[in-house]
Amino acid sequence: MSEFETINPATIKQALQQLQSHSPLIHCMTNDVVQSFTANVLLALGCSPAMVIEPEEAEQFAAIASGLLINVGTLTTDRRHAMRLAVKSANNAGKPWVLDPVAAGGLIFRTQFCHELLTLKPTAIRGNASEIMALAGINQGGRGVDSTNTSYDALSAAQSLAQSANTIVAISGEVDYVTDGIRTVAVTGGHPLMTRVVGTGCALSAVVAAYCTLSGDLLLNVASACASMKQAGKTATQKSKGTGSFIPEFLDALYLSNQ
């Protein structure tokens, strides 16, 4: 494990404090399933979420917002069009944007769109092992939103992808790996219960977009986003009876981490 950096609690805390003081406005173009949870996660952390999807509005708003999230979970042709305009607008305005390639690899339409988006230079990519391997051109035939690979299995793919696309790649799993292709940070913590609640990964991608708006070391900022979400997940699991009580406990933990 000596090849990986770790991230220390002081760095995580500093990033969180910077997040809180800046309160970035995050333009979320995300899937239909996780809209409310994503907004509540960002709000709990002190950020401002806004979901804007009409093409003309998305183009206008991406330049106003602090950062942009593109999540292809319930992609449609209309949504794809709006996302293209938003990404180009964010790029023109010098705003960071994050790609969450939900279920890339398994489904042709979204996989092709994710590859197109790669050419538009995302600031960061956050996905599970199967999704990252698919983006890197290694098709493992994942059956959808699940990953049948561990995050470590996808590490070399993530490193290649980070270098070729000049981006930060975060692979979620029991250990999260965050890499720019040269440096790699390993983030431990969390709990498997998080995978039994819809939207924890998708919301993390929105939080990554928020952390990409901060100053400082981008790699450590993205790793801090992963670490803060893992900490809240662990706290929430300890206080939960099951997946139902996990949800309010998780939002409470994020909210209280911010006080």
Q: Quick one: which of 176, 160, 190, 185 has its CA closest to 128?
A: 176
Residue 216 among known ligand-binding residues: no
If one counts every other C-beta atom within 10 angstroms of the C-beta of residue 96, the result is 24
Q: Residue written as tokens 């390993």?
A: 186
User: Among residues 185 and 202, whose Cβ is nearest to its own copies?
Assistant: 202
User: Among residues 33 and 120, whose Cβ is nearest to its own copies?
Assistant: 33
Q: Residue written as tokens 């006080």?
A: 259
Q: Are 256 and 211 in contact (CB under 8 A)?
A: no
Least spacing, CB of residue 37 vs its own copies, in Å = 6
User: Among residues 91 and 200, whose Cβ is nearest to its own copies?
Assistant: 200
- List residues near its own copies by CB under 8 A: 25, 31-37, 39-40, 43-44, 48-54, 56-57, 60-61, 64-65, 73-78, 103, 106-110, 143-146, 196-199, 240-245, 247-256
User: Among residues 158 and 209, whose Cβ is nearest to its own copies?
Assistant: 209
Least spacing, CB of residue 43 vs its own copies, in Å = 5
Q: Are 62 and 93 in contact (CB under 8 A)?
A: yes
Phi, psi of 107 (to 5 degrees): -125, 130
Residue 164 among known ligand-binding residues: no
Least spacing, CB of residue 155 vs its own copies, in Å = 24
User: Among residues 37 and 211, whose Cβ is nearest to its own copies?
Assistant: 37
Specify the DSSP class assigned to residue 203. Answer: H
Least spacing, CB of residue 39 vs its own copies, in Å = 4
Note the maximum CA span of the chain.
48
CA 213 to chain centre: 13
Output the six-digit token pair for 163. 């270098």
Output the six-digit token pair for 17. 């404090």
Least spacing, CB of residue 48 vs its own copies, in Å = 6
Q: Residue written as tokens 């995580």?
A: 12
Q: Collapsing DSSP states into helix, strand and coil, what is residue 126?
A: strand
User: Among residues 9 and 141, whose Cβ is nearest to its own copies?
Assistant: 141
Question: Which residue type does 220 have?
Answer: L
Least spacing, CB of residue 164 vs its own copies, in Å = 26
Residue 126 among known ligand-binding residues: yes
Residue 79 among known ligand-binding residues: no
Residues making up the binding site for substrate: 51, 199
Residues making up the binding site: 51, 126, 172, 199
Residues making up the binding site for ATP: 126, 172
